[in-house]
Structure 1
Amino acid sequence: MAGEVVSGYAPVDGVDVYWESRGSGGTPLLMVHGGYGTTAVFESVPELLARDRQVVAIELEGHGHTGNTDRPFTWERFGDQVAGVVRHLGFGQADLLGWSLGGGAVLRCAIQHQDLVRKLVVVSAPCRRSAWFPEVLAGFDSMTAATLAPLLRQSPLGVAYAEVAPDPD
Structure 2
Amino acid sequence: MTTTDLRVDEGHAPVTGGVRMYWRSMGEGGTPLVVVHGGFGVTTVFGDVLERLAARRRVVAVELQGHGHTADVDRPLGDDVAALIGHLDLGPADLLGYSLGGGVVQRATVRHPEVVRRLVVVSAPCRREGWLPDVLEGMAGVSSAGFEWMRQSPMYAAYAAVAPDVGAFPALMDKTGHLLRTPYD
**Quick check: TM above 0.5?**
yes
Q: What aligned pairs does 1:125-144 form with structure 2 within 5 A after superposition?
A: 125-144=124-143
User: What letter matches 2:23 in structure 1?
Assistant: W
Q: Secondary structure at the match of 1:96?
A: strand
The residue that corresponds to 1:115 in the other structure is 114
Q: What aligned pairs does 1:48-63 form with structure 2 within 5 A after superposition?
A: 48-63=52-67
Distance change >3 Å, CA 143–CA 120, structure 1 → 2: closer
TM-superposed CA distance for 1:62, in Å, is 1.1
User: What letter matches 1:45 in structure 2?
Assistant: V
Q: What aligned pairs does 1:34-49 form with structure 2 within 5 A after superposition?
A: 34-49=38-53
Query: Share of identical aligned residues, percent?
Result: 55
| Separation (CA, whole Å) in 2 of partners of 1:98 and 1:85 | 15
TM-score for the superposition, normalised by structure 2: 0.82
Among 143, 146, 163, which residue is 1:165 paired with? Answer: 163
| Separation (CA, whole Å) in 2 of partners of 1:45 and 1:22 | 12
Tell me which stretches of 4 or more aligned residues in structure 1 moved more than 2 Å.
126-144
Q: What aligned pairs does 1:19-34 form with structure 2 within 5 A after superposition?
A: 19-34=23-38
TM-superposed CA distance for 1:39, in Å, is 0.3
The residue that corresponds to 2:100 in the other structure is 101
User: What letter matches 1:98 in structure 2?
Assistant: G
| Separation (CA, whole Å) in 1 of partners of 2:149 and 2:61 | 26
Q: Secondary structure at the match of 1:126?
A: coil
Task: Please say if residues 105 and 119 of structure 2, whose CA atoms lie closer than 8 Å, have aligned partners that are also in contact.
Answer: yes
The residue that corresponds to 1:150 in the other structure is 148
Alignment length, in residue pairs?
163
Range moving further from structure 2, 27-36 or 63-72? 63-72
| Separation (CA, whole Å) in 1 of partners of 2:120 and 2:141 | 31
5+ residue gaps, structure 2? 168-185
Distance change >3 Å, CA 91–CA 133, structure 1 → 2: closer
What is the CA deviation profile of residues 116-144 of structure 1, one whole-angstrom value per residue up to 9, with x for unaligned ones?
Answer: 11111011113333333444333332332
User: What letter matches 2:146 in structure 1?
Assistant: L
User: What letter matches 1:9 in structure 2?
Assistant: H
The residue that corresponds to 2:85 in the other structure is 86
5+ residue gaps, structure 1? none
TM-superposed CA distance for 1:26, in Å, is 0.6
**What is the aligned-residue RMSD (CA, Å)?**
1.5
| Separation (CA, whole Å) in 2 of partners of 1:120 and 1:134 | 26
| Separation (CA, whole Å) in 1 of partners of 2:140 and 2:72 | 21
TM-superposed CA distance for 1:152, in Å, is 1.4
| Separation (CA, whole Å) in 1 of partners of 2:111 and 2:94 | 15
Among 4, 7, 10, which residue is 2:10 paired with? Answer: 7
TM-superposed CA distance for 1:96, in Å, is 0.5
